[in-house]
Homo-oligomer: A and B are copies of this chain.
């Protein structure tokens, strides 16, 4: 469980990428504290995020860099990058506009497991934009 002391207590940023070269990154609204989404970064995506101030991820399904907002316009302005004790997970504190999840909600976490159930969900939020409009192809 515990990582070496210099990793946990030190002030050198040494992000630990997994066997696929990725690190988990949580995007959290810097204002409200709402967790918006969880994605992954490779070394290049992390470097671009730190350099540009806009969140850049690595899409596992597409196996390429994913500049958040490049299609939808819903960019994430990164205010702060936090790292956890064993440096294998990041939080990006971000400033965002309305509508971060591609399904149409502000956050990807719009459903909760029903109390007393193990297999039923209940909606906890309403949609804030129409993804069909945001992602429509330019003619």
Q: How many copies does the complex hold?
A: 2
With beta carbons under 8 angstroms apart, the residue of B9, B84, B121 that contacts A13 is B121
Chain B: minimal CB distance from A103 (Å): 5
Using CB atoms and an 8 Å cutoff, list the residues of chain A in contact with chain B. 1-2, 8-14, 24, 26, 28, 32-35, 37-38, 47, 50-51, 59, 61-62, 66, 80-85, 89, 91, 101-103, 105, 108-113, 117-124
Name 29 interchain pairs, CB-CB below 8 A, sorted by A. A1-B59, A1-B62, A1-B66, A1-B102, A9-B103, A11-B120, A11-B122, A11-B123, A13-B113, A13-B118, A13-B119, A13-B120, A24-B24, A24-B38, A26-B26, A26-B35, A28-B35, A37-B84, A38-B89, A50-B113, A50-B118, A80-B113, A81-B112, A82-B110, A83-B111, A83-B113, A84-B109, A85-B101, A89-B108
